[in-house]
Amino acid sequence: MSEVNLKGRKVTVHDMCLRDGMHAKREQMSVAQMVQIASALDDAGVPYIQVTHGAGLGGNSLQHGFAPHSNEEYLSAVCSAVKRTKVSVLLLPGLGTMRELQSAYDCGARSVHVATHCTEADTSPQHIAYARKLGMDSTGFLMMAHLNTPEGLAQQGKLMESYGAQTVYITDSAGYMLPADVKARVSALRDVLRPETEIGFHGHHNMGMGIANSIAAIEAGAGRIDASVGGLGAGAGNTPLEAFVAVCERMGIETGCDLFKLMDMAEDIIFPLMEHIVRVDRSSLTLGFAGVYSTFLLHANRAAARFGIPARDILVELGRKKMIGGQEDMIIDTAMTMAKERGLLKDAATGAAS
C-alpha cells in the first residue's frame, strides 16, 4: 500500500490504555488494574504509557465523571511499579492546571501531552513552559485536527513549538481523517517545525482507519504514534497497539515492542475488562463519519436512553452545532432541546412542552 520504504525507521509508541481507555471504562478502573496493565506494557517494551483520568489532570468532575481514585493515587502506584517505561499525563488548559501538573510530576510523571483544540494553541503557553521547566518530555497536542487546515495546523504547531513543545501531535479525536488528510497535515507541520521537533499522530478507529492513518503519518515524517492495546479507548477505541506493531514489523519499522507479549496482553488482560466491546458500531461509526469527539459516545448513549432521542440523532446534531472536546454538558442539553421539540419533555420555565 505504501510507496515509501519505511524499513529501519524508528517509531516511539505511546500507549493510551490507562488514559483514553478510562473513557471506555466510564473512568472506573482500580489501582490494581492500572498497575497490572502498566506492568504488562513495561514488560512488553512499550516506551511511554499515559496514566490519568480520561480527561486528564483535573478531569474528576461531574462533566467528565469521577474516577474511584485521584490522579495522584493512580500515578504513584503506576510509577513505582514500572521499570523502563516513562509515564505521561494529559493536561487540557481550562480543566487541568499547573498545580496539578506539579503534583503529577511529584508522583513520578515525566512526560505530558498539553492538549488544546486545533485552533486554540495560544491557551497552552503557561503549561508547556511549566512542563519544560520541570524537565518533562513536553508535547503540544492539537485535538480535533480535522477541523483545521494543514496550513492552520502548521501555524498552531509552530506556536506550541515556540512555547517549548518538543513534539507536536496531530490528534484525530473524532476518528474522522483518512490517510491523505493525515499526510497533508503531518507534512505541513514537518515543513515549518524545526528538524529536532518531533511530530506525533493520535488516531481513533471510528472509521477503521487507525493503523492506516498511523502508517500514513509515519510516511509523512511522524516519529511518535499513540495507540492502545486492544484498542481500549474512546469511541471505537484508539489505534490497536498490537496490530499496529504487527504491521510495523512486516514493514520493517522499529518500535522496540514485543509483539507476542502485546497480543497476549490484549487477549488475557484488556478484552476481559471491557464493559462493552470497543469496536466500530453504529454509534462509534457515526462519530467518525460526522466528525464528533470520540468521548461523546457513552454520554450520547446515556442521554438517548434518558430522553428518548436516538444517539445517532444527538451525535449528528452535536456535529452540526460544532461542539468540541470538553463540551460533554452540551450532550444532555442538546438531547433535552430535541426532546422538547419532539414533545417528549416539558419546559421548566413554562411547565409546557415548548
Bridge partner list, 138: 112
Task: Give the list of residues 6+ apart from residue 341 with CB closer than 8 angstroms, or none.
Answer: none
- Alpha-carbon 96 to chain mean position: 16
Nearer to other proteins, 107 or 114 (CB): 114
Residue closer to other proteins (CB basis): 2 or 61: 61
Asked whether 14 and 53 are in contact (CB, 8 A), the reply is: no
DSSP line for 52-102:
S-TT-TT--BTTTB--SS-HHHHHHHHHHH-SSPEEEEEE-BTTB-HHHHH
| By CB under 8 A, residue 149 contacts other proteins | no
Minimum distance, C-beta of residue 336 to other proteins, in the bound complex (Å): 4
Site for other proteins in 44-83 (CB under 8 A): 61-63
If you ran DSSP here, which 8-state letter would residue 319 be given? H
By CB under 8 A, tell whether 120 contacts other proteins: yes
* 133 counts as binding other proteins under rule CB under 8 A: no
Choices 10-18, 172-180, 255-263, 327-335 (CB under 8 A): range interacting with other proteins: 327-335
Catalytic residue annotation: 23
Q: How far is the CB of 188 from other proteins (least distance, A)?
A: 18
Residue 190 to residue 208: CA distance in whole angstroms: 25
Q: How many residues bind other proteins (CB under 8 A)?
A: 33
- CB-based contact 7:39 (threshold 8 Å): no
* DSSP code string of 146-191: GGS-HHHHHHHHHHHHHHT-SEEEEE-TTS---HHHHHHHHHHHHH
Check binding of 330 to other proteins (CB under 8 A).
yes
Q: Which is nearer to other proteins, 57 or 211 (CB)?
A: 57
- Contact with other proteins (CB under 8 A) among 247, 274, 332, 344: 332
Q: Are 87 and 79 in contact (CB under 8 A)?
A: yes
What are the backbone dihedrals phi and psi of residue 10, each rounded to the nearest 5 degrees, phi first? -100, 135
Residue 85 CA, distance from chain mean position: 19
Binding to other proteins (CB under 8 A) within 257-286 occurs at none
- Binding residue for other proteins (CB under 8 A) from 28, 80, 84, 122? 122
Grid cell in block for residue 315: 451525535
- The answer to whether residue 162 forms part of the interface with other proteins (CB under 8 A) is no
CB of 26 to other proteins, least distance (A): 16
Smallest distance from the beta carbon of 242 to other proteins, in angstroms?
A: 34
Q: How far is the CB of 116 from other proteins (least distance, A)?
A: 8
Q: Which of 65, 93, 164, 291 binds other proteins (CB under 8 A)?
A: 93
Q: Out of 51, 95, 177, 209, which residue is the one contacting other proteins (CB under 8 A)? A: 95
* Contacting residues toward other proteins, per CB under 8 A: 61-63, 93-95, 97-99, 117, 119-120, 122-123, 125-127, 147, 321-324, 326-327, 329-330, 332-333, 336-337, 340, 348-349
